[in-house]
Structure 1
Amino acid sequence: MNNDNMGPVGENVFPDQARAAEIAERVERFVREEIVPYERDPRRDHHGCPTDELTMEMREKARKAGVLTPHIFPDGGHLSQRGTAMVLIKSGLSPLGPLACNTAAPDEGNMFLLGKMGSPLIKEKFLTPIVEGKMRSAFFMTEPAQEGGAGSDPSMLMTECHKDGDHWVINGRKAFITGAQGAGVGIIMAKAPEGASMFLVDLPDPAITIDRVPNTIDSSMPGGHATLTIRNLRVPEQQMLGAAGDGFRYAQVRLAPARLSHCMRWLGACIRSNEIATNYVNRRQAFGKPLIDHEGVGFMLAENMIDIRQAQLMIDWCASVLDAGGNGNVESSMAKVGVSEALMRIADRCVQVMGGNGLTEDSIVEQVFREVRAFRVYDGPTEVHKWSLAKKIKRNWEREQS
């Protein structure tokens, strides 16, 4: 196992570091030995995403190995964000690793949200089967851009809900809902008279129609990214998360950790891609010497080493802010931009130094390039985060002038 650039960083030891390191070691061994061989498994859907049959088979192996949902404990406890980073980076060493270990999006973010904010009923009915890896979940917020719906700007939310007795009735359209097809639990964001609200629903439901699942550049998430219609969906009042109008506040609880866990998982994938590229350029001969000895190639791997370390340090820094009780909104925006752009450079260089071999499905290098390209858009495009940060810079300046 190659552990370069993957251990804890900094001199300050955090309380659950030893426990996280032990879990991370077991997760890495499991992913490398048990899950990497599944990368050639043909059980995929119409655009290459793993089927639920494949997912559940891998999860059963993870369950037997004691690495299913490894960052959440039977007593409801959770590793610190720094500890979670150690584990999720390891699970990301294969694009299939997060699915197998139940650390993948959107489930990981949904578990975090429901664990923090769910009522006892919601935790028992909806959270428990997700944590146990028996169901997948989906987060219904984004809406079709062509219809003027919410995307990076959640205030454009068009899906509506109204009270009817002891139920809420929801109507609207959603788009790019990751994993909706095949999910057993849905978290739906809708606009009530009091403001944005969240609801927990059992899936499938006849009131929710999947209109299409478009082919997208990425192919790691079961169910793809569906466009769907919600028609007169009735949800019991007790399945509202919190109170009417709490939706955006609760979304903020999920937002920063979910952004950061994306960074963790895809860093793991890029570390593995870099391992594959490094092995290739040390073995491949051209113009009388190994490719690594050609400056143009060697320098790219040196730049990868720098970007990997910088990404890890930024993840650790943002995780430390969250562990200290900060909401991490600004820090996670910075991490999302810095890490996703660094990972894109790493993935691109891995493809480049492998030449034609980097363009084929013979290794995960080509897939990781596609996945990371999508990551630059998911959970807020780079430009939206920069714009948000620029607004904060302006606010801070104006405050200093007053």
Structure 2
Amino acid sequence: MLRTPAAVQDAERYTAHNYHPLPVVISSAEGVWLTDVDGRRYLDCLAGYSALNFGHRHPALIAAAHAQLDKLTLTSRAFIHDQFADFCRELAALCGKDLVLPMNTGAEAVETGIKVARKWGYQVKGVPAGQANIVVAEGNFHGRTTTIVSFSTDEDARADFGPYTPGFRIVPYGDLAALAGAIDEHTVAVLLEPIQGEQGVVVPPEGYLPGVRQLCTERNVLFIADEIQSGLGRTGTTFACEQEGVVPDMYLLGKALGGGIVPVSAVAADADVLGVLKPGQHGSTFGGNPLACAVATEVVRLLATGEFQRRSAELGERLHTGLRGLIGKGLVAVRGRGLWAGLDIDPALMSGREACERLMERGVLAKDTHGSTIRLAPPLVITEEEIDHAVTQLAAVLAG
């Protein structure tokens, strides 16, 4: 008797319905392959929204976690532990920044970035108390806290969670003129995703990110890059901003930083920015804990080799070539960089959800967003043959 139906039913019965997962129940995984409770294998083409860039149970990351579990898992930031300095130093070097502030989830990194930008604005830029504003983009996805959904344009994320936090200005993504018009003397930061993931892997127009950098420099405004999904090798470079030679004032990192084992996030910036924080003004009991630091340090060391960035760039070419071959055969558009793609399915053919359900039946797991769009973001350890397999299965789904 199959175990999946009962397991799905139990999950639905005892869980708040804040997600709409595919009806698959995973029990084990290795590399890019998942196995469900009935023993069926699936190719993972989502990678935990980029949290699993290095695949499931990467041996170096698992070894680091096992070794640390036998020694120390938590001290709180009331004390310093022996994994902390290595993590902060090596991540700061990877980012080319002076300082790192470790947190846990991506949303916490975004909240931290907002707080730091406001404090920088008051203490360094001289913005009058309570007047700071931050410019963001339409279609953004930075998390789901009360403050973050206050500047979301996705009604599913925002509706019925007010009253909303003030202090944000929303402009069209990719529109430099609109951005310039929104910045005033009280603007402390521009907060953007270099590629909008949840919106459907939307890549901005060429020259947009350099233009944002120039505007922020000229107007004495911090450029905050949310690289939580786009960073750490996903697009073929360590950070998506590198694709256009841009260095932001602040990186927001998460997801892949925890190696798919523990939640780890971080803010990286120079001392003139992160240095505005003083003891007692911000913190997290679990932020930068020994287990998280041990795993994340190994993640940084994997990235320092450049291997995963190269894999993403080279294999991404193969993925996008295969996907572009399906335009006019059920796909109407393909976007993305590296091993990250947003696919618009002809809405007359099927919805994104239907496509993902049919892919699941063929042993490939992906995720839909915004109607007829699906996202592909396989672990960076995927092979050429596995990429070809995923594209072949998608072609079969589109062909009906």
Same fold (TM over 0.5): no
Q: TM-score, normalised by structure 2?
A: 0.26
Which of 1 and 2 has higher RCO (CA within 8 Å, sep 6+)?
2
